[in-house]
C-alpha cells in the first residue's frame, strides 16, 4: 500500500495547490481544459449507488483535476450494457463487477491487470483478506474491492413467538432449522404457502449454501485445487448433500422459491421465518416492522464443520484505458479502497471491509449484527466461477426439473455436474 498511500498524499498536496491556484484566479479554473473525465459503471443497488455518489463528491473536492461520471444499470441488464459498450468501442473506464465474473472478463480481454507501479501483488496480498487470492490469474490481479460479503442466518423473532418457539434460540444445526421452520410454516387448504419457515431458494444464496456449505459439511471438496474439476459427485456424500438440500422444499416443505417475489422480500413481508443472506441485506432488514436477529450458519451436528460462502463486488480498469485516463482511474481506485472509505461503506451499505486489518477490529468482531458475518469469513470459501451466469442457470434448471417435473435426484445431479464441467473445460482448455 506504500505506493497507494504515497499517491494519496500526492493527491492531497496537489489538491491544496490546485485549490490555492483557483482561489487566486477563479476565472482560470472555470472550464479548466486540464480536467480528466473518467466513467464508473455499476449495477443499480440503491445504497451502493448513493454511497458511490458521496465518495465521488468527496474525491472530486480533493481532486479538482478529475471528474468521475457514474452510471448504474438494473442488474439483469448490466452485463449486456457492458458487452454492448465494448462492442461499440465505448466501454467505461472503471467497471464494478462480481467476483464470479472476473475470469470471464479477463478471458474476453475486457479488463487490464493492476499495474505493479500502482499496487504490487505483494501489497494486494498483504492489504486484503485471503479470499481475494483465488483471483490472482496467471500471476496477475485484475481488480480491487472495497468490501467483501459472507452469509449468516436471519430469523424473525415474532414468527418464532407465534409458533411457540424461543425467539432467542435460533437453530444451531440444519435439523433444528428444519424443525423450527416446520413449526412456522402455514399452508392453505389447497397446498399453497401462507407462511414459509425458511426462505428456500436455488437462485439466490441457496446455491452457495449448497456448494460451499452443505457439500463441505458432508465431506465433499466442491472443486479441485485449480478449480478446473467439479467434484460434487465424486463421493456418495455429494449425492446425499444434494438430496438433503432438495428435501427441505420437496419433502419437509418448509419453504419454496415462489413465496414472495424473492426470499428476502418474503422475509421483509413477515411471511418467511428464516433466510440465509449476506450482510448487504442488513440495510433493508433493519427497517423491518418485526423483531429479528442474525446468527452464524447452521452445521450438520453440534461441534461439526462450519463453512460459509464469501463473495465480493470489485473494481476493474477496462482494457485500453491509458494515459491521463489511466492515471485518473488509478487515483480514483486508490481513494476508493482507503480504510476510511471502507468503514463508511460498512455503515451505509452493510458490506464488510475488505482490509485484513479492519476486519480484525475487536469492536466489529463483537458487533451483534455484523459479528456473525465476520466470524463466517474465518471459514468462508469463495467459489471460483469461470462463467457465473451459466453455472448458476444450470443449477436453477436442474433444481426446477426436480421440483416441477419430478425428475430423478441422482440423474439430475449428474447432469448438473456434467454441464458445469463442460463450462469449466471450455474455459480451462483455452488457458
Whether residue 6 is predicted with pLDDT greater than 60 in this model: the reply is no
CA 106 to the chain's CA centroid? 19
The reported pLDDT for the residue numbered 33 is: 64
Whether residue 9 is predicted with pLDDT greater than 90 in this model: the reply is no
The reported pLDDT for the residue numbered 32 is: 56
What is the rounded average pLDDT of the residues 187-203? 95
What is the rounded average pLDDT of the residues 1-22? 46
Report in angstroms the alpha-carbon separations of 86 from 110, 162, 282: 8, 54, 34
Whether residue 310 is predicted with pLDDT greater than 80 in this model: the reply is yes
Q: Quote the CA–CA distance of 314 and 247 in Å, as a whole number.
A: 35
The reported pLDDT for the residue numbered 350 is: 86
Nearest partner of 275 among 209, 356, 348, 191, judged by Cα: 209
- pLDDT tens for residues 73-123? 998 899 999 999 999 999 999 999 999 889 889 999 999 999 999 999 999
What is the rounded average pLDDT of the residues 399-413? 97
* Residue 87 exposure: Cα atoms within 13 Å on the Cβ side: 6
Q: Indicate the angle between helix axes 236-250 and 409-428, nearest 10 degrees.
A: 120
Q: How many CB atoms lie within 10 A of CB 106?
A: 20
- pLDDT tens for residues 231-268? 999 999 999 999 999 999 999 999 999 998 899 999 99
**Who wins on pLDDT, 382 or 128?**
128
**Who wins on pLDDT, 178 or 260?**
178
The reported pLDDT for the residue numbered 217 is: 98
Whether residue 21 is predicted with pLDDT greater than 80 in this model: the reply is no
Whether residue 16 is predicted with pLDDT greater than 60 in this model: the reply is no
What is the rounded average pLDDT of the residues 277-304? 93
Burial class (CB in 10 A: 0-12, 13-18, 19+), 188: exposed
- pLDDT tens for residues 315-365? 999 999 999 999 999 999 999 999 999 999 998 898 999 999 998 889 889
What is the rounded average pLDDT of the residues 4-13? 48
Reported as a pLDDT band with limits 50, 70 and 90, residue 3 is low
Q: Is residue 180 a contact partner of residue 160, using CB atoms and an 8 Å limit?
A: yes
> What cell numbers appear for 276 in the block?
440465509
What is the rounded average pLDDT of the residues 124-141? 89
Whether residue 282 is predicted with pLDDT greater than 80 in this model: the reply is yes
Reported as a pLDDT band with limits 50, 70 and 90, residue 160 is very high
Q: Quote the CA–CA distance of 379 and 306 in Å, as a whole number.
A: 7
Average pLDDT of the residues of the chain = 90
Residue found under cell 467505461: 92
What is the rounded average pLDDT of the residues 16-21? 40
Whether residue 312 is predicted with pLDDT greater than 80 in this model: the reply is yes
> What cell numbers appear for 380 in the block?
468462508
> What cell numbers appear for 158 in the block?
415474532
The reported pLDDT for the residue numbered 28 is: 37
Q: What is the 3-state secondary structure (H, E, C) of the chain?
A: CHHHHHHHHHHHHHHHHHHHHHHHCHHHHCCCCCCEEEEEEEECCHHHHHHHHHHHHHHHHHCCCEEEEEEEECHHHHHHHHHHHHHCCCCCCEEEEEHHHHHHHHHCCCECCCCCCCCCHHHHHHHECHHHHHHCECCECCEEECEEECEEEEEEHHHHHHCCCCCCCCCCEHHHHHHHHHHHCEECCCCCEEEEEECCCCCCCHHHHHHHHHHHHCCCCCECCCCCCECCCCCHHHHHHHHHHHHHHHCCCCCCCCCCCCHHHHHHCCCEEEEEEEHHHHHHHCCCCCCEEEECCCECCCCCCCCEECECEEEEEECCCCHHHHHHHHHHHHHHCCHHHHHHHHHHHCCEECEHHHHCCHHHHCCCCCHHHHHHHCCEECCCCCCHHHHHHHHHHHHHHHHHHCCCHHHHHHHHHHHHHHHHHHHHCCC
Residue found under cell 481488480: 143
Whether residue 377 is predicted with pLDDT greater than 50 in this model: the reply is yes
Residues 6+ apart with CB under 8 A from 395: 202, 207, 210, 416, 420
Whether residue 12 is predicted with pLDDT greater than 50 in this model: the reply is no
The reported pLDDT for the residue numbered 253 is: 97
Reported as a pLDDT band with limits 50, 70 and 90, residue 384 is confident
Amino acid at each position: 500500500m506504500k505506493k497507494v498511500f504515497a499517491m494519496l498524499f500526492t493527491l492531497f498536496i496537489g489538491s491544496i495547490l490546485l485549490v490555492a491556484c483557483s482561489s487566486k484566479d477563479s476565472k482560470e479554473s472555470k472550464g479548466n481544459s486540464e480536467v480528466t473525465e473518467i466513467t464508473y459503471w455499476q449495477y443499480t443497488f440503491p445504497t451502493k449507488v448513493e454511497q458511490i455518489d458521496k465518495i465521488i463528491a468527496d474525491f472530486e473536492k480533493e481532486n479538482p483535476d478529475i471528474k468521475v461520471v457514474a452510471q448504474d444499470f438494473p442488474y439483469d441488464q448490466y452485463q449486456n450494457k457492458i458487452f454492448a459498450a465494448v462492442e461499440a468501442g465505448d466501454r467505461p473506464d472503471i467497471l464494478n463487477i462480481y467476483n464470479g465474473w472476473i475470469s470471464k472478463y479477463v478471458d474476453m480481454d475486457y479488463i487490464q491487470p493492476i499495474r505493479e507501479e500502482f499496487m504490487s501483488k505483494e501489497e494486494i496480498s498483504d492489504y486484503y483478506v485471503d479470499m481475494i487470492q483465488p483471483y490472482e490469474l496467471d500471476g496477475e490481479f485484475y481488480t480491487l474491492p472495497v468490501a467483501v460479503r459472507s452469509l449468516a442466518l436471519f430469523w424473525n423473532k415474532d414468527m418464532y413467538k407465534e409458533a411457540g418457539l424461543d425467539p432467542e434460540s435460533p437453530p444451531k444445526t440444519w435439523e433444528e432449522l428444519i424443525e423450527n421452520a416446520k413449526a412456522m410454516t402455514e399452508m392453505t387448504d389447497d397446498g399453497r404457502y401462507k407462511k414459509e419457515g425458511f426462505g428456500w431458494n436455488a437462485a439466490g444464496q441457496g446455491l452457495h449454501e449448497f456448494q460451499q456449505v452443505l457439500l463441505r459439511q458432508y465431506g465433499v471438496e466442491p472443486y479441485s485445487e485449480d478449480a478446473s474439476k467439479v467434484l460434487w459427485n465424486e463421493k456418495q456424500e455429494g449425492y446425499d448433500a444434494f438430496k438433503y438440500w432438495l428435501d427441505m422444499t420437496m419433502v419437509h416443505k418448509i419453504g419454496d422459491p415462489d413465496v414472495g417475489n424473492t426470499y428476502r422480500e418474503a422475509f421483509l413481508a413477515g411471511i418467511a421465518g428464516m433466510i440465509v443472506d449476506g450482510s448487504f441485506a442488513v440495510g433493508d432488514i433493519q427497517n423491518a416492522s418485526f423483531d429479528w436477529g442474525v446468527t452464524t450458519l447452521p452445521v450438520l451436528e453440534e461441534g461439526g464443520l462450519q463453512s460459509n460462502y464469501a463473495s465480493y463486488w470489485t473494481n476493474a480498469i477496462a482494457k485500453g484505458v491509458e494515459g491521463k485516463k489511466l492515471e485518473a482511474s488509478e487515483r480514483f481506485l486508490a481513494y476508493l479502497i482507503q480504510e476510511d472509505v471502507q468503514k463508511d461503506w460498512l455503515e451505509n451499505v452493510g458490506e464488510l471491509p475488505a482490509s485484513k486489518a479492519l476486519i480484525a477490529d475487536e469492536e466489529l468482531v463483537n458487533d451483534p449484527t455484523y459479528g456473525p458475518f465476520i466470524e463466517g469469513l474465518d471459514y468462508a470459501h469463495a467459489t471460483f466461477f469461470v462463467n457465473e451466469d451459466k453455472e448458476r442457470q444450470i443449477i436453477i434448471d436442474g433444481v426446477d426439473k426436480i421440483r416441477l417435473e419430478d425428475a430423478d435426484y441422482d440423474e439430475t445431479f449428474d447432469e448438473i455436474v456434467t454441464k458445469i464441467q463442460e463450462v469449466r473445460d471450455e474455459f480451462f482448455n483455452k488457458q
